[in-house]
Amino acid sequence: MPTDAPPEPAQQPGGAGEAQPAARTAPPEQVARTRMGQPATFLEAVSEALWEEMERDERVFLLGEDIGAYGGAFKLTKGFLERFGPLRVVDTPIAEGGFTGAAAGAAHMGLRPVVEMQFMDFISPAYDVLTNYVATSLYRGAGPLPLVVRGPVGGGARAGPFHSQNVEMAFFHTPGLKIVYPSTPRDAKGLLKSAIRDDNPVIFEEHKGLYRAPRFRELLPAEDYAIPLGKARVALEGDDLTIVTYGLMVHRCLEAADALARDGIRAEVIDLRTLLPMDEDAVVASVRKTSKLLIVHEDTRTGGIAGEIAIRMNERAFEWLDGPILRVAAIDSPVPFAAPLEDYFLPSVGDVTAAGRYLHKY
């Protein structure tokens, strides 16, 4: 959607006389897909959003481990250092709590930092900063704190328990934070732009299984656009069963919906996109139509967001339900490293299909 003109830029990180960015260089390959009229992967969409927002607003800068000279663990910020310089692409020590705190200070001074967690599993050292300080800033009268913490999440890459977790429910209980978890390149770019422009702190989760998968490429709008936070989308329309999900699981649920359609079951798939704040109205509207609700997420079962969605629908849509609210989630275990164990741990298309068939017959 159209956006307002960029605000007046504030002073960049650092002081007068410090090193400035090199002369404008050609955009690196991963941020040039859309301007060349080519479809972009999820990773390229995220990179494009960062690049365009940094060009749009000089207050936006990046912090993270190996994001500068190395270009990031996934090469998502390759070429950013050469274009924007070391004051706006800041290589940090391995100290997530420290550089997240530094980003919070920069946000207080009028900048708009974007923190990369090399893997979101390692956001835990910054938990205190984010929950006790960042999330409460506005409530304590310290003013808005525009800060985005983004990075890869999710399993399926045989990366073991330190590089495969989903972290949304560690922060879902914290008022003052927003949590975004997109499922498509178009949404990733548009939602990240909105997150960077938001005056509230946002945790932005990117499933690494979506990063380079060719089948998820999309041709993105050539014009500048942003997708509002807090709005779900209907990924597939149906009237027999509602499936609520987000992230990579959107695509597994769409596959399950295809299997259910062969049985004559028309499932509606709701992609939440933003988990906090959650678009409850979209879920209620679908449940009123289908009378059946299945909730799917890759996060572990106990304490997962499915429980919260279930109780909200019990409060708001109970009279329309014709069966129990079911959930499909990962089992309560650290993410296994061994391939057969990880496959058993993660929700599968078959799991979703079986739950959908059971609920439809109830």
Positions marked active-site: 163
Q: Which helix (H) or strand (E) holds 3?
A: none
Which residue in 151, 19, 32 sits closest to 81, CA to CA? 19
DSSP for 102-116, please give it.
HHHHHHHTT-EEEEE
Per the CB < 8 A criterion, the answer to whether 97 and 129 are in contact is: yes
Number of alpha carbons in the 13 Å side-chain half-sphere of residue 7: 13
Q: Is 301 exposed, middle or buried (0-12, 13-18, 19+ CB in 10 A)?
A: middle
Report strand pairing: 274-276 vs 112-116.
unpaired
Angle at 351 between CA 345 and CA 355, to 5 degrees: 135
Per the CB < 8 A criterion, the answer to whether 260 and 241 are in contact is: yes
Which residue in 73, 199, 184 sits closest to 143, CA to CA? 199
Separation of alpha carbons 67 and 83, rounded Å: 13
Question: Under DSSP, is residue 187 helix (H, G, I), strand (E, B) or coil?
Answer: helix
Separation of alpha carbons 25 and 21, rounded Å: 10
- The tokens 């990579």 sit on which residue? 248
